[in-house]
Amino acid sequence: MEKGVRALWREEDWWAVWLGFIIIGASLLRLVPSVPKVGKWTGNPLDAFTIVKDGVASGNIILSLVMLMLGLGVLTAIAVGFMRTANVGKYLLGFIGVFILATLSYWIANQMNVKYWGLSYALWALLVGLLISNTIGAPGWLRAGARTELFIKIGLVLLGAEILFKKILSLGAPGLMVAWIVTPVVIIFMYNYGVRILKMKNKSLVIIIASATSVCGVSAAIAAAAASCAKKEDLTLAVGMTLIFTVLMMFFMPLIIGFIGMNNILGAAWMGGTIDSTGAVVAAGSMLGADAETVAAVVKMIQNVLIGLVAFFIALYWVTRVERDPDVKPNAMEIWYRFPKFVVGFVAASLVFSFIVVPVMHGDFKLVESTFINPVTKVLRGWFFCLAFTAIGLESNFRDLASRMEGGKPMILYVIGQSFNLILTLFVAWLAFIILFPKAI
């Protein structure tokens, strides 16, 4: 791990910050007005790459995708070159392959029948990568472009641009109660259950699963993995479980809420606090109506704010308790060295958009989102996440994953932890939205 000023251009976390803010700056200056994305399709696969205006095909996005591939490839290659962790030429060749696989994953996910079932691009990217690595094996030239941590850290910095504080506070005290009371309780419960009751030896895997379950799924898992110096296989296992259960919860929770006649806003807050993906939360909330969709999304965004705090406290706990050297007294600098620096970029991006961009746009959230976030930072965040999940799959194999199952204990931990999360979140949401702040609904 690089230390001192040298780390600013040699450490991956810092490069995630620099590249994230280059993208954010280009967005704010309108140097990049929009980013291509694979479209929806039903019967004709080519529809996914067709531009349609007023019901008439007016071109395709193939050239735009090629330009995006080259742009992201060169941008990330600069970081790889400065970090001196790989040959830049080999990285660029591998990146092209990873990008094509990521595009394929988006294409599969955007088929309308697949999309209906909530099978997201993240799941398909992971499956595509795993299929290759566990059958023919990922060739060396392709693996050279699989920079999992760099991709997802850049994506997390860009995610910060979507966390608008004034929008979060619009839901007020009940939203804060659901997100900020339940989350730390669930993390502490799951960690202690995994370590003390299940006797899991891999504490890094325990904290990753606990963070993914209680905060916001994959994003929190990445931050927790970085803070606890977890192995890539631990992250893959946690992400795989999270994605599977996210799909199930996204589909069944709205049905259960409607079947028992639960108040839609209460149900939305419940889903926002428990479903482990912002996209899945929005999709599930939309099944209950526009107001419920807004409440579910805001509760999830409030949880997303905790990514930085969770990473900080995990790094603090790991340095002072889990991996403490009895002969060395832990100090603030050691905690700083362990702390995932990309979280600094995540928080900084949120502050810039919340307290500079939004006021400049006269507090118009929709204008900010339609001008900067949705056409650029959010779409690019999706691309980086898709690249990362593809890379995770390419670098993983089922034999390594099986060796980390400890007799099924990770699955037991997730099921018990998520069950506890569902019960506690529903109780706190009922207390907040029905008893203490009924006017909120």
Domain, as residue range, for 265: 7-440
Give the pLDDT confidence score for residue 55 in this predicted structure: 64
Concatenate the DSSP letters of all residues of 190-239 into one string: HHHIIIIIS--S-HHHHHHHHHHHHTTTHHHHHHHHHHTT--HHHHHHHH
Whether 164 maps to a domain, the answer reads yes
User: Is the C-alpha dihedral spanning 377, 382, 388, 390 positive or negative?
Assistant: negative
Is residue 2 in some structural domain?
no
Residue 97 lies in a domain: yes
pLDDT tens digits along 382-403: 999 999 989 988 988 777 777 7
Q: Kindly report the pTM of this predicted structure.
A: 0.85
Determine the pLDDT at residue 323: 76
The CA distance from 139 to 64, in Å, is: 27
CA angle centred on 246, ends 116 and 306, rounded to 5° = 125
Q: Is residue 60 part of a domain?
A: yes
d(CA 182, CA 266) in angstroms, rounded, equals 15
Q: Are the CB atoms for 302 and 215 separated by under 8 Å? A: no
Task: Report which of 133, 59, 145 is spatially closest to residue 100, judged by C-alpha positions.
Answer: 145
- What pLDDT is stored for residue 54 in this prediction? 62
Domains contained in the chain, number? 1
| Cα–Cα distance, 421 to 274 (Å, whole number) | 7
- C-beta neighbour count of 334 within 10 angstroms: 17
What pLDDT is recorded for position 40?
92
**Cα 303 to Cα 272: distance, rounded to the nearest angstrom:** 9
DSSP 11-50: -HHHHHHHHHHHHHHHHHTTSS--------BSS-GGGGGE
Distance of alpha carbon 382 from alpha carbon 369, whole angstroms: 15
Residue 1 lies inside a defined structural domain of this protein = no
Residue 385's SS3 state is helix
Alpha helices in 215-319, H assignment, sequence order = 218-227, 232-260, 264-274, 278-286, 290-304, 306-317
What are 51's strand-pairing partners? 59
CA distance 274 to 287: 16
Q: Which helix (H) or strand (E) segment is 263 a member of?
A: none
Q: In the chain, which residues have pLDDT < 50?
A: none
At 95 the pLDDT is 97
